[in-house]
């Protein structure tokens, strides 16, 4: 396993993060494919055995049970100080008008709730899951700074917003002497490279670590395009992100398959090797619901694509329309 600093911060993380969205009480929330606790635990154990020290979850995943599962797994399998736990805030967990968002009230309430569910007294990386258009960014950034000063959170991260929004939040924090974000978790893979326009250059210039979500495009870069799964059957996000450009995306996936066949490796290794080679990328967030998922991800760290292969992978790409982050 390779370890790097998360952006310009002092925090060292593995070059892969285990995404825990697939682990949680089945049927709760919007993730019917989630694995129950007994089936989730082996993947956390496998990740630790492979040297992964970076685990990513969110308060909304299976209505908090993902955090509960991860917290119990960490306590059972390793020492708390040896892992980096990231969780998120923003989404509504109930129908209450006070639920969700990035107000001071919501942040203070949800950070304590996440700490209880995780069974820990600090969160390594606290990520705002989305931009909140209804709350002044000054209120959000001051509240986040306060939870850092209180010792409940060590570092701050952001996810899935437009570059101008991210820049504004960073500027407000710097202006007031508040804690800045050290990471950006965005949608970035071979099928959607729109972040290369503004977000990735900004992150490189400012020393912000990048931890892309959906590095394998919901599995489309890891298997035959038309292969169905429980996830594809119940995931409306796929159609929003990949439906309008399906023909071009299929062409990219075919190149991934061709290079994988030539190399004698799984498709996932090729797609992840490309992503890991991008200058701004720190640690893709990979999901795992079968043992080979993590083995393939770790093997990708040692797969070096040559210039011709990289050109072949990038050539079929067509620009994608902006999809609002909801």
Domain assignments of the chain as residue spans, ordered by start: 3-234+280-291
C-alpha separations of 286 from 99, 113, 211 in Å:
28, 25, 10
What does the block give as tokens for 79? 């020492």
The overall longest dimension of the chain from CA atoms, in Å, is 55
| pLDDT at site 32 | 84
Q: Which residues of the chain have pLDDT under 70?
A: 229-239, 243, 325-326
| Residue 209 and residue 182 in contact, taking contact as beta carbons nearer than 8 Å | yes
Catalytic residue among 23, 61, 126, 188: 61
Which residues, 6 or more positions from 133, have their beta carbon under 8 angstroms from its beta carbon?
Answer: none
Is 155 in the active site? Answer: no
How buried is 201 (Cβ within 10 angstroms: 0-12 exposed, 13-18 middle, 19+ buried)? middle
What does the block give as tokens for 235? 């995931």
| pLDDT at site 231 | 61
pLDDT over 90 percentage in the chain: 87
Tens digits of per-residue pLDDT, 194-230? 999 999 999 999 999 999 999 999 899 999 887 776 6
| pLDDT at site 21 | 96
CA angle 50, 52, 56 (to 5 degrees): 140
Q: What is the 8-class DSSP label of residue 286?
A: E
- d(CA 151, CA 49) in angstroms, rounded, equals 29
Which overall architecture, per CATH, does domain 3-234+280-291 show?
Alpha-Beta Barrel (3.20)
Going across the sheet that includes 285-286, the strands are 209-210, 181-185, 153-159, 123-128, 84-89, 54-56, 17-19, 285-286
Which residues, 6 or more positions from 275, have their beta carbon under 8 angstroms from its beta carbon?
Answer: 188, 189, 190, 212, 215, 281, 284
- Is residue 314 within a helix (H) or strand (E), and if so which, with residue range? helix 307-314
Report which of 284, 268, 265, 264 is spatially closest to residue 276, judged by C-alpha positions.
284
CA angle 27, 31, 37 (to 5 degrees): 65
| pLDDT at site 230 | 64
- d(CA 222, CA 55) in angstroms, rounded, equals 21
| pLDDT at site 323 | 77
| pLDDT at site 175 | 98
- d(CA 303, CA 275) in angstroms, rounded, equals 11
Which pTM was predicted?
A: 0.94
């Amino acid at each position: 396993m390779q370890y790097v600093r998360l952006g310009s911060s002092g925090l060292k993380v593995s070059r892969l993060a285990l995404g825990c969205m697939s682990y949680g009480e089945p049927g709760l929330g919007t993730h019917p494919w989630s694995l129950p606790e007994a089936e989730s635990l082996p993947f956390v154990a496998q990740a630790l055995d492979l040297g992964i020290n970076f685990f990513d979850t969110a308060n909304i995943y299976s209505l908090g049970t993902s955090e509960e599962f991860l917290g119990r797994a960490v306590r059972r399998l390793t020492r708390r100080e040896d892992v980096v736990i990231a969780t998120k805030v923003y989404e509504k967990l109930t129908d209450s008008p006070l639920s969700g968002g990035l107000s001071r009230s919501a942040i203070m309430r949800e950070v304590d709730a996440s700490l209880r569910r995780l069974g820990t007294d600090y969160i390594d990386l606290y990520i705002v899951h989305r931009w909140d258009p209804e709350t002044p960014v000054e209120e959000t950034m001051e509240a986040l700074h306060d939870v850092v000063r209180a010792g409940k959170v060590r570092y701050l991260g952001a996810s899935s917003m437009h570059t101008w929004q991210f820049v504004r939040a960073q500027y407000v924090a710097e202006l007031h002497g508040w804690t800045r974000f050290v990471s950006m978790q965005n949608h970035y893979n071979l099928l959607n490279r729109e972040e290369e326009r503004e977000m990735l250059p900004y992150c490189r210039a400012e020393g912000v670590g990048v931890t892309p979500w959906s590095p394998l495009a919901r599995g489309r870069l890891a298997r035959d395009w038309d292969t169905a799964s429980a996830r594809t059957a119940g995931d409306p996000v796929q159609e929003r992100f990949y439906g309008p450009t399906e023909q071009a995306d299929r062409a990219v996936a075919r190149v991934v398959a061709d290079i994988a066949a030539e190399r004698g490796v799984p498709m996932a290794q090729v797609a992840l090797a490309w992503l890991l080679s991008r200058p701004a990328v720190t640690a893709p967030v990979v999901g795992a619901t079968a043992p080979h998922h993590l083995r393939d991800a770790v093997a990708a760290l040692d797969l070096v694509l040559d210039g011709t292969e990289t050109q072949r992978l990038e050539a079929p790409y067509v620009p994608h329309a902006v999809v609002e982050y909801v």
